[in-house]
Amino acid sequence: MFLHIKNMVCPRCISAVRELLLKLPLHPVSVELGQVEIEEKELTPFQFQELDKKLEELGFERIEDHNKQIIDKIKTLVVQKIHHERLYQGFNWSKYLSDNLNQDYKSLSHLFSAFEGMTIEQYIIKQKIEKVKELIAYQQLNFSEIAYKIGYSSPAHMSNQFRKITGMTPGDFKKLRKPVRNTIDKL
């Protein structure tokens, strides 16, 4: 049986969900970002209720609606690419998403906008800016290195988007004693 889980965004999420399933006790065959396969063919209403409760305690949510599953897959692919892989300038998001989800980008874009109240592009920009904030906070890379690591064409392009989203420049953000960061699953 396949289950779709919202807010799984990193390898620690996979470990947490796998551990939760084993404690319930359920028998996971595979646990991936956003999707779990278990040996059980069916679950009782009580098992679903218990699973949903435990997932919620960890900040996850089981998704039953097909459209919501697609939206969650879009978000998972974006987060995975921005936060866990290297981006390059000119990365083709529409091809990447449509290839991975086997749907044309236009329908994915309409669905995402209808449910989320923002475009996929706006969501991508928000995720990129959160990654920029993270890298600034680490203080290991300069702004040029950060810009190219996140796939911006120039530090000026990154700075303009950063200012548009946060209301401050990357330099101003760096000067904050306690930088304001958002969790990536809440964007």
**Fold match between domain 2-64 and domain 66-187:** no
How much is the average pLDDT of 112-138? 96
Identify the CATH number of the domain defined by range 2-64.
Answer: 3.30.70.100
* Fold assignment, 66-187: Arc Repressor Mutant, subunit A (1.10.10)
How much is the average pLDDT of 71-92? 93
Task: List, as own/partner pairs, every contact residues 158-167 make where C-beta atoms lie below 8 angstroms and the sequence separation is at least 24, other chains included.
Answer: 158/132, 161/125, 161/128, 161/129, 162/129, 162/132, 165/125, 165/126, 165/129, 166/129, 166/133
State phi, psi for 38 to the nearest 5 degrees.
-120, 155
pLDDT band for position 176 (cuts 50, 70, 90): confident
Q: Tell me how far apart the terminal alpha carbons of the chain are, to the nearest angstrom.
A: 30
Q: E strands of 9-123, at which residues?
A: 28-32, 35-38, 61-63
d(CA 118, CA 105): 15
Indicate if the pLDDT at residue 97 is higher than 90: yes
Contacts of 169 (CB under 8 A, 6+ apart): 159, 162, 163
- In one-letter notation, the amino acid at residue 14 is I
**What is the DSSP code (8-state) at residue 177?**
S
pTM of the model: 0.79
Q: According to the model, what pLDDT value does residue 182 have? A: 72
Residue ranges of domains in the chain: 2-64, 66-187
149 exposed, middle or buried (CB, 10 Å; 0-12, 13-18, 19+)?
middle
User: What are the structure tokens assigned to 16, written together?
Assistant: 């947490």
Task: Go through the chain and tell me how many residues it has.
Answer: 187
* Low-confidence winner among 77-91, 123-137, 156-170 (lowest mean pLDDT): 77-91
Q: According to the model, what pLDDT value does residue 101 have? A: 97
Bridge partners of 5? 62
Q: According to the model, what pLDDT value does residue 168 have? A: 96
